[in-house]
Structure 1
Amino acid sequence: MTGKFENKVVVVTGGTSGIGLATAKAFSSQGAFVFITGRRKEALDAAVREIGGRVTGVQADMSKLSDIDRLYDAVQQQHAQIDVIFANAGGGEMAVLGAITEEHFQKTFDTNVKGTLFTVQKALPLLRDGASIILTSSTTSISGTPAFSVYSATKAAVRNFARNWILDLKDRHIRVNAVSPGVTDTAGLNELFGNGESAENTKAYLASLIPAGRIGQPEEIAKAVLFLASDEASFVNGVELFVDGGQVQI
């Protein structure tokens, strides 16, 4: 069976769980050669088995430039060009103003901003003209969240990368867009809120704020990413596509 991304070369950073894993699976099911990254080898190996198809796992921390180089060395061993980059690796922890440490700030910006920047910049020699870049931002790019200011600032920065890079890359006809998920049922969400009854109550409360009446699923974000990467989005450039059940629109 052939798919929209048959024989396309796709890089998904942070592809071992949640949105990254769901998106890697979706690209693979559409016939792509998929490269995923993850920091932990055990999780990376498990993700490769789950994704199936023509997938390669590269152990890498995308906040480290040497690891980014290792990723693209692995791609070059098999392919001459990259068609799609989903710069998804990221994360964050809660810290209220007054309790923010330098370590918290540095870790969050290194992962979400530095990592995204150099994931894209170091790919430029391999990116084909007309390629598609999708960045993972967040609804927090425009919506305030208590104790989440550092993370929110990084995602606003990522969103603005898309605005600026479409100008830097216009002569190569490379599109750059940002996908901004809302509350999504991932392992990362559980890490924020913990497990048990308290976490479930928090999720229920968050769902009550969403017009769709529920939190999102990783597969729903993946569908948006594949749209932005596809020819169907050939005239979509520099946007922030909210996939949040309507939460930030009210």
Structure 2
Amino acid sequence: MTTFSGSALITGGTSGIGRATAELLHERGYRVAVTGRSPESVAQAREELPADVLVIRADARRVSETADAIAEVGERFGHLTTLFINAGITRAAALGTVDEATWDEIHDTNTKGSYFTLQQALPLLTDGASVIFTGGLGATPPFGIAGGSATAASRGALIAMVSSLALELAPRAIRVNAVSPGAIETPIWGKSAAPAEAVAARKAAIAARTPLGRFGTAREIAETVAFLASDGAAYLTGQNIVVAGGGGLG
């Protein structure tokens, strides 16, 4: 009989940090489910991830879709020991250019979507489970990012929730933490509307400001998530772990 290390749901798990985390946890013996919004990324994940990884299309902005996805996970796994709430978007825009629709898209995905994902998943979480949110370095004062105020507000709201949720769920020994990545090499950089030369120059400037002199990898963030999911982090809750190569230190 197969012995599993645990069961994990990763939202926003079809690419980037979520995908790397799904692969790592699966390697370590977890039963893994991932969600994604884009039909293309969902189809690609179904083709490329191991066959026993459950891949579900769900839009984090829609509570009903989240509820349906979690119900499907419950039918397959029965319970969850790890919930990595990673689905989110970034929109770089100056204050004067952010319209109401953009603000709502960001906050419906990052803030509302994350909050209600945890609410809907709560009945599946075992006592002693681990919940991890994806925050962001730009949402961690005083390390702001020009043009990132709307996204920072949404991510900052998640970080602010962590300590309250950790207290609320402590009677069940459910740990709640956040991981705030710095500059990470993910497919999002290839989706920029800016010219390739401008993107390369921006990345070089960011790397130069990072004490370790480089971008992080999605796998490195996944390792931090895996630690928070493990028994090694059994006494760690209510924290925001910044993984940024020293970014923001000086």
TM-score tier, shorter chain, comes to over 0.9
Paired letter, 2:231: D
Return the alpha-carbon distance in structure 2 between the equivalents of residues 195 and 58 of structure 1. Answer: 33
Q: How many residues align?
A: 247
Match of 2:166 in 1: 166
Match of 2:176 in 1: 176
Q: Deviation string for 1:34-84 (max 9, x for gaps)?
A: 110011233112113322152001110011011111111111211221110
Match of 2:208 in 1: 208
- Do the aligned partners of residues 212 and 57 (structure 1) sit closer, same or farther apart at CA in structure 2, a change above 3 Å counting? same
1:35 to 33, 36, 45: 33
Paired letter, 1:146: A
Q: Deviation string for 1:141-177 (max 9, x for gaps)?
A: 1211111100001111111111110111011110000
Q: Deviation string for 1:191-230 (max 9, x for gaps)?
A: 3464522111110000000000001110110001000111
Return the alpha-carbon distance in structure 1 between the equivalents of residues 207 and 109 of structure 2. Answer: 28
Q: Deviation string for 1:97-141 (max 9, x for gaps)?
A: 122100111000000000000010111111111000000000011
Q: How does 1:123-202 map to 2 (within 5 A)?
A: 123-142=121-140, 143-192=143-192, 194=194, 196-202=196-202
TM-score, L = length of structure 2: 0.95
Contact 1:193 1:199 (8 Å CA) reproduced = no
Match of 1:66 in 2: 64
Share of identical aligned residues, percent? 37
TM-score, L = length of structure 1: 0.95
User: Which segments of 5 or more consecutive residues in structure 2 lack a partner in the other structure?
Assistant: none
Return the alpha-carbon distance in structure 2 between the equivalents of residues 58 and 195 of structure 1. Answer: 33
Contact 2:180 2:241 (8 Å CA) reproduced = yes
User: Which segments of 5 or more consecutive residues in structure 1 lack a partner in the other structure?
Assistant: none
Cα offset for 1:244? Answer: 0.4
- Do the aligned partners of residues 245 and 146 (structure 1) sit closer, same or farther apart at CA in structure 2, a change above 3 Å counting? same
Return the alpha-carbon distance in structure 1 between the equivalents of residues 217 and 110 of structure 2. Answer: 21
Match of 1:56 in 2: 54
Q: How does 1:104-119 map to 2 (within 5 A)?
A: 104-119=102-117
Local SS of the residue matching 2:97? coil
Q: How does 1:73-92 map to 2 (within 5 A)?
A: 73-92=71-90
- Do the aligned partners of residues 132 and 195 (structure 1) sit closer, same or farther apart at CA in structure 2, a change above 3 Å counting? farther
Contact 2:7 2:32 (8 Å CA) reproduced = yes
Match of 1:232 in 2: 232
Contact 1:182 1:242 (8 Å CA) reproduced = yes
Return the alpha-carbon distance in structure 2 between the equivalents of residues 95 and 183 of structure 1. Answer: 18
